[in-house]
A and B are shown apart, each in its own frame.
Chain A
Amino acid sequence: MEGIQLTLVSDNRISSFGKTEKINFILKHIKEGEIVILESGLEPKEQAKLIQTTMNEIDHDEFNGIEIETYPEKDENPSFLDRLLGKTHKNRLTVIGPADKLKTIKRNKDMIEAFVSFKE
């Protein structure tokens, strides 16, 4: 049966990884053509690291980058300790896929519509 693999990763699983391990795990699955769904998303700095690692992995042939779907952060007041530790955000469900398979159609604060292509 032809199709696209969806890989759903629980908060427990993603939290068990170190920062680099987490990025490598996500990119490994995406480069295999899978759509990865993270229950609890990535910290902003991890998102930036994921973009940098993606740029280094682009080969201008098979892999042209990623598409990330996540909501803007909730308006919250983080505690002083959280601010001190740079934890000003609650992570939210995030979908990441290869740029040639996953396309955003429409996104707003609370809803994302995306399109998954079966293009080989």
Chain B
Amino acid sequence: MGLLDWFYKRSLSSWLNKLFSKENAKIGLYGPPNAGKTTLANQIIRDWSGDVMGPVSEIPHETRKARLEEGVEIEANGASLGLDVVDTPGIATKVDFEDFLNEYDLEQDEAKRRAREATKGVVEAIDWLDDVDAILLIMDSTKDPYNQVNVTMIGNMEARNIPFIIVANKVDKEGSNPNKIREAFSDHPVVAISALEGENVNELYNKMIDNFG
């Protein structure tokens, strides 16, 4: 093989790699506030790179700015998948600072600041839809899955051809009913887990490699 042939093949291979396969798939963690997105992001990153992504809280909209963790390599069943994990703020159609005042006993200034940041976070989370390769849509399995955020998110992922897995989280909690999520979104892959307890996350990793790898 001549030098020109070698150079041509190497360039072509590099160009095809860039065009069709990126080094890491960018995975967005999406869902309504308090579904457990950051808890799951922390679990994934703790399992595969020994770090944590951000603080978690019972107060909704704890994550008000998207966080990106690059170069997370997950392995399951002899295969591996390189990920950049994007933990996005919870998506909502309304943000009322009085909810923080009444339900979580925050001071008015803090409640308003949190509400202002939360609205910006929702805008940012939706902007990220144009920049992710796949999505984990996290739902709280103790709640009714037919909420507008879930319906809108699934519609958007389908319209944008983004592969996704629905994560029925919080199976450790009383009242959890992941089957209701399976019935509601029967056309889509659903994995029931507890991100908090680490329960069944290995099945999620298998599913991620099958669906996103």
Contacts and interface: CB of A to CB of B under 8 A. Distances in A.
Interface of A: 43-45, 47-48, 51-52, 54-56, 58, 60, 64-73, 75, 83, 86-89, 99-100, 104, 106-109
Contacts of A87: 159
Interface residues of B, number: 33
Interface in B72-111: 91-97
Given A60-B116, A71-B151, A99-B93, 8 more contacts: A43-B155, A44-B156, A58-B95, A60-B97, A64-B97, A70-B148, A75-B187, A106-B144
Contacts of B95: 55, 58, 60, 64-65
B126 interface: yes
Interface of B: 91-97, 112, 115-116, 119-120, 122-123, 126-127, 129, 144, 146-148, 151-152, 154-156, 158-161, 184-185, 187
Contacts of A68: 93, 148, 152
Contact of B152 (A51, A55, A75, A99): A51
B96 A99 contact: yes
B93 A51 contact: yes
A106 B144 CA distance: 9
A96 to B, nearest CB: 9
A54 B94 CA distance: 8
Given A43-B159, A47-B152, A52-B122, A65 B129 contact: no
Nearest to B127: A52
| 6 shortest interchain CB distances as A-B pairs | A65-B94, A44-B155, A99-B94, A55-B119, A64-B96, A107-B146
B156 A69 contact: no
Contact of A66 (B94, B112, B185): B94
Contacts of B116: 60
B126 A51 contact: yes
Contacts of A72: 146, 151, 154, 184-185
Q: Which of B95, B127, B154 has the most CB of A within 10 A?
A: B95
A56 B123 CA distance: 8
B48 to A, nearest CB: 30
A105 B187 CA distance: 25
A86 B160 contact: yes
Contacts of B91: 51
A60 B156 CA distance: 27
A94 B184 CA distance: 19
B123 A52 contact: yes
Nearest to B118: A55
A120 to B, nearest CB: 15
A7 to B, nearest CB: 18
9 contacts: A43-B155, A45-B159, A48-B126, A48-B156, A51-B93, A55-B119, A65-B92, A88-B159, A99-B94
A66 B159 contact: no
B152 A65 contact: no
A106 B96 CA distance: 21
Given A60-B97, A75-B187, A99-B94, A69 B148 contact: yes
